[in-house]
Amino acid sequence: MNQNYPVIIIGAGPIGLAAAAHLIERHQDVRILESGTNAGAAIQDWGHIKLFSTWKYNIDAASRRLLETPTDTYAGDWEAPRETRLPSGADMVSEYLEPLAAHPALAPNISYGHRVTNITRIQADGKSVDKTRSAGRDESLFLVRTQTATGTEDLLGRAVIDASGTWNTPNPVGRSGIEAIGETQARSAGFITSSLPDPVGTDQEIFAGKTILVLGAGHSAANTLISLGHLRQQHPDTTILWGLRGVANPVKLYGGGAADELPARGQLGTSLRRFVENGDITILENLSVTSLESDDRLTVNIADGRNQVVDLLVPATGFRPNLGMLSELRLDLDAIVEAPRELGPLIDPEFHSCGTVTAHGERVLSHPEKNFYIVGMKSYGRAPTFLMATGYEQVRSIAASLAGDRAAADLVELELPETGVCSTDLGGSCDAPAVGEQAATCGTPEPAADSCCTTPEQANEPAPDSCCAPQPVTIGFATGTLHGHTELLGEPASR
């Protein structure tokens, strides 16, 4: 009976659309709910950022088959971008996601402007199945409540795949995981920017000549700081402050040098170190923010009694999943990173990077709530090591399970380049961004037309078939503290 209802997919980003493509290929009905006005709406917010991985690793197999296969109503004339080219976020939307969302098999099933606020379960006759009710729960339907421009709408489905990402729920700038006093007012007043602004592009007038505090020590922070460094070369009156919540550790800040098995990650650190040593960027240690005061400028008050007055604060502090809309569902989450319990230890950023995460599918992603799955970036909870390729394998396995193909669901594989290349569907999670001057874009330089894997910097890029392209392996090189940095960091390798 439940087969008469669709699988509801939340989010029309690359992972959500891939889930739909795999389900359609297996003759399953789908309904896609997207809060934005177009496919890949969240990606457009960081469209200026380049992914670290080339197109080869950013196109889902089922989606590609759908785009390249002619039908009575579709010409099948989509041409995939060159595999060795690095896409920006804007490229991902215009060259891949928009054509995919416009496909006749998908377009009628996508509802834009539908923001999901609650998910619960309900019997087919309309009777309640709240979180406490167990009898008949597995056979009940899902009720998905959405907010639209015309009001509230309830939709019914036989399964739900939550691919909504984490872009809209950044971590606060306050200490210990909660907002600083006055943080909400500072955001409303415009003192706190987006997590990945474009200081050398569309946001240049906002940043030029200002005092800017970038808070965070990950690759989102590095991308912004390097862009600001280039901005300061054009506008020397720009002041760049780099706020760290702890003590500056060169291994953590600059990639560990020879101990980092990803050359591009070390190159990113080299570019960042140069700006710091040249005096373009000033590091502020132990910046534990207690409160923010919004006036003509923003005063940042710190736990040790210091305060810093700035014009703008960039919150490169990571993201977290929105679990509020799932409060009526029975979830089994890892207590540390808020990912599915079996996945949590595999992705904990204290010990792992994307290159050490093994392939995983429907069984690892399942919850006590039957036929409900969190996929993509949101499935990684607070961990920033998500792979686009990993997300595609997640939804392939889940689609097989929902279609009744248990063998295919359990046969999980993940092919990555030898460097453990990372990409993301929301930005800020590139585990191994750029080399050289391209570092600010979280990408690597395009290989020269006549070069074939000739430099260490190009080792992270697949070369043309006639060259020495790296062979796919099950997992990439180890880069987490459990696999290379433990001695340098002086931290125990245990969880």
Residues of the chain with pLDDT > 90, as a percent, come to 67
pLDDT value of position 437: 35
Tens-digit pLDDT profile for residues 153-182: 999 999 999 999 999 999 999 999 999 999
pLDDT at position 385: 78
The mean per-residue pLDDT over the stretch 401-413 comes to 95
Q: What is the DSSP letter of 461?
A: S
- The pair of structure tokens assigned to 42 is 């969240």
Return the sign of the alpha-carbon dihedral for residues 184, 171, 304, 214.
Answer: negative
Query: What gap in Å lies between CA 444 and CA 200, rounded to an integer?
Result: 18
Alpha-carbon gap, residue 153 to 49, rounded angstroms? 35
105-154 tens-digit pLDDT: 999 999 999 999 999 999 999 999 999 999 999 999 999 999 999 999 99
> What whole-number distance in Å separates Cα of residue 402 and Cα of residue 241?
50
| Per-residue pLDDT at 348 | 82
More confident site: 388 or 330? 330
* Residues in a beta bridge with 145: 118, 154
- pLDDT-derived band of residue 257, with 50, 70 and 90 as boundaries? very low
Looking at per-residue confidence, does 202 or 488 come out higher? 202
253 has a pLDDT exceeding 80: no
Read off the pTM. Answer: 0.83
Q: Which residue, 444, 451, 462, 486, is CA-closest to 271?
A: 444
Q: For tokens 């604060």, what's the residue?
A: 313
Q: What is the pLDDT of residues 282-321, one digit of tens each?
A: 999 999 999 999 999 999 999 999 999 999 999 999 999 9
**Burial annotation 433-472 (CB, 10 A radius, 16+ → b, else e):** bbbeebbbbbbbbebeeeeebeeebbbbbbbeeeeebbeb
Tell me the C-alpha distance between 311 and 237, whole Å.
13
If pLDDT is split at 50, 70 and 90, which confidence band does 433 have?
very low
Amino acid at 3: Q
On whether the CB atoms of residues 80 and 59 are closer than 8 A, the answer is yes
pLDDT of residue 246: 87
pLDDT the model gives residue 78: 97
